[in-house]
Amino acid sequence: AAKGTLPALTWIAPRQGVNKTLGTLGGPNSDHPNCCDVALGERLRKDIYEAVRAGPGWNETVVLFTWDDPGGFYDHVAPPMRAPAPDAQPTCFCDQPNIFNGTCHGSDPHDHSQSPYTRLGSRVPVILVSPWLRKGTVVSEPDAGTKPFSDSQYDGTSIAATVKRLFDLPEFLTRRDAWSASFDHLFDELPTPRTDAPMHLPEAPPPTARHGVHPYGTDCDDPTRRMRRSVSSFEKEL
For residues 63 and 53, the answer to whether their CB atoms sit within 8 Å is: no
Whole-structure pTM value:
0.76
Closest CA to 142 of 193, 179, 191, 190: 179
Average pLDDT over residues 95-100: 45
Q: Which amino acid is at 186?
A: L
Instruction: Quickly state the pLDDT bin for 237 (edges 50, 70, 90).
Output: very low
Average pLDDT over residues 9-16: 92
- Per residue in 26-66, pLDDT tens? 888 988 877 788 889 999 999 999 999 999 999 999 999 99
Instruction: Quickly state the pLDDT bin for 192 (edges 50, 70, 90).
Output: very high
- Per residue in 115-157, pLDDT tens? 557 888 889 999 999 999 999 999 999 999 999 999 999 999 9
The distance between the two most distant Cα atoms of the chain, rounded to a whole number of Å, is 59
Res. 222: pLDDT tops 70 = no
